Amino acid sequence: MAVERVGPPSIAGEREMLRAFLDYHRATLALKCDGLSDEELRRRSMPPSTLSLLGLVRHMAEVERTWFRRVIGKEDVPLVWSEEGDYQVAYDASGATGAEAFAAWQAEVEHSRRIERAAESLDVTAYQPRWGEEVSLRLVMLHMIHEYARHNGHADFLREGVDGTVGV
């Protein structure tokens, strides 16, 4: 998979800046996984944790789906890997393939981009049932940047554990 990561602009409008930072972090996750076999992508951090690079990709597909499709888009769709709404299921990638996980994640990213671009403004709000309150698209985009940044830190350590690669 060829991954292009473009650094965010130094000067831009708020929405353009948020989009750029989110896409930068999305590309970072893809780069952390680039060139690895399914077995390497499934390698767990340390037992009993099920955390792996592939698990992170699956988790971020769920996060994209939840925040953009289910919350902002108000779509009545289940999670990708759990009909029961259990977010932890995505982390267990023991039987997963890279092709399956990346296809689901990339599809959710495209849905997210479509929903964000269609929104009238960053001030669009929707109800987030887990938080029990209305949230703005601005908050969702900031939250997504936070989610990717945090999990990309995990991905740094996971990738280093697989083949010693650091600093991607």
| DSSP class per residue in 60-128 | HHHHHIIIIIIIIS------SS-TT--GGGGG--TT--HHHHHHHHHHHHHHHHHHHHHSS-TT-EEEE
Over 90: is that where the pLDDT of 46 sits?
A: no
Question: Which helix H or strand E contains 134, and what residues bound it?
Answer: strand 133-136
| Cα dist from 5 to 2, 24, 162, whole Å | 10, 6, 22
- What are the pLDDT digits (tens) for 89-144? 999 999 999 999 999 999 999 999 999 999 999 999 999 999 999 999 999 999 99
Amino acid at 126: A
Share of the chain above pLDDT 90, in %: 88
- Give me the residue spans of the domains in the chain: 14-163
Instruction: Read off the tokens for 67.
Output: 């925040």
- How far is Cα 128 from Cα 100, in angstroms, rounded to an integer? 28
Sign of CA dihedral 103, 86, 71, 142: negative
Give the pLDDT confidence score for residue 47 in this predicted structure: 80
Q: What is the pTM of this model?
A: 0.95
Note the pLDDT tens digit of each residue in 8-34.
999 999 999 999 999 999 999 999 999
Least confident of 117-126, 145-154, 158-167: 158-167
Q: Are 31 and 147 in contact (CB under 8 A)?
A: no
pLDDT of residue 16: 97
pLDDT of residue 1: 64
pLDDT grade for 48, boundaries at 50, 70 and 90: confident
Neighbours of 153 (CB within 10 A): 10
Q: Among 108, 136, 135, which residue's Cα sits nearest to residue 120?
A: 136
Which CATH code, of 3.40.50.620, 1.20.120.450, 3.40.190.10, 2.60.40.10, is assigned to 14-163? 1.20.120.450
Q: Give the mean pLDDT of 61-82.
A: 96
Predicted local confidence at residue 83, as pLDDT: 85
Write out the two tokens for 87: 């977010």
Angstrom distance (rounded) from CA 131 to CA 135: 9
Closest CA to 32 of 48, 10, 51: 51
- For residue 7, give the 3-state DSSP assignment: coil
- Mean predicted lDDT score pLDDT of the chain: 95
Q: Mean per-residue pLDDT for 48-67?
A: 96
Question: Per-residue confidence at 4, pLDDT binned at 50, 70, 90?
Answer: confident
